[in-house]
């Protein structure tokens, strides 16, 4: 039963992160299409948002490891 908890903890965090990155990329491309002269600002904000979203997936991995070893 612990293996199922570990798999769910990481897979749901990774799924959420993947969906989040996809939505961030879609919004950034939409913003770039509407306002191309702000490309550098949009890219900076997109990279920052992706880093925060990936941090959630890493937290899910840490949580899965804590479940496994504690």
Mean pLDDT, 10 residues at a time, over the chain (70 residues)?
84 94 97 96 97 93 88
**Rounded-to-integer distance, Cα 10 and Cα 46, Å:** 24
- Structural domains for the chain: 2-69 (1.20.20.10)
Taking the C-alpha atoms of residue 21 and residue 11, their distance in angstroms, rounded to an integer, is 15
**pLDDT for 5:** 81
Question: Tell me, what DSSP letter sits at residue 1?
Answer: -
- Beta carbons within 10 angstroms of residue 70's beta carbon: 5
Residue 68: what pLDDT? 87
- Nearest alpha carbon to residue 57 among 28, 25, 31, 19: 19
Supply the pLDDT for residue 18: 96
Q: According to the model, what pLDDT value does residue 67 have?
A: 86
Which residue do the tokens 């002269």 mark?
Answer: 37
Q: If you ran DSSP here, which 8-state letter would residue 34 be given?
A: H
Predicted structure pTM score: 0.86
């Amino acid at each position: 039963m612990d293996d199922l908890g570990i798999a769910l903890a990481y897979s749901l965090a990774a799924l959420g992160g993947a969906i989040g990155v996809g939505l961030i990329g879609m919004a950034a491309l939409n913003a770039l299409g509407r306002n191309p002269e702000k490309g550098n600002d949009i890219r900076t904000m997109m990279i920052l948002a992706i880093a925060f979203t990936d941090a959630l997936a890493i937290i899910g991995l840490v949580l899965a490891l804590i479940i496994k070893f504690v």
